[in-house]
Amino acid sequence: MSQKTISVAVHLAGCDYRFACSPAEREELVEAACHLDQKMREIRDHSGKSLALESVAMMAALNLSHELLRQQRQATETETFLNRRLRDLSRKVDAALSQATLGEV
């Protein structure tokens, strides 16, 4: 069964683009486009020289990719830390329960 798609218009760095997506993804697509547009405008506004749209888009893509990879790395490190902490706490609880059980005998 094919899923229904809709056409969504977005504005990026002064240009209009149309994308197809499912109705459920519309809001996320618009949000992503707004975020990308903001990043592209920041790059264009902060560059001392006039950059081609393609260069601005590549710089924005690279910056966003870098941010994503950094966040993924931080999430992995946090998950590893939490898993280690949970194992330690579980061992302490098991030890306390074992001692409580031995004390009852």
What does pLDDT average to over the chain? 92
Q: Is residue 85 part of a domain?
A: yes
Task: Tell me which of 103 and 88 has the higher pLDDT.
Answer: 88
Q: Is residue 19 part of a domain?
A: no
Amino acid at 94: D
Q: Is residue 78 part of a domain?
A: yes
> How sure is the predictor about 2, in pLDDT bands with cuts at 50, 70 and 90?
low
Residue-wise pLDDT for 30-73, tens only, equals 999 999 999 999 999 998 778 899 999 999 999 999 999 999 99
CA 90 – CA 45 distance, rounded (Å): 53
- Could you tell me the residue range of the domain that residue 96 belongs to? 34-104
Q: Is residue 67 part of a domain?
A: yes
With pLDDT > 70 as the criterion, what percentage of the chain qualifies? Answer: 96
Which structure tokens are listed for 39? Answer: 């990043």
| Number of structural domains the chain divides into | 1
Q: Is residue 4 part of a domain?
A: no
Q: Is residue 97 part of a domain?
A: yes
Cβ-contact 60, 66 below 8 angstroms: no
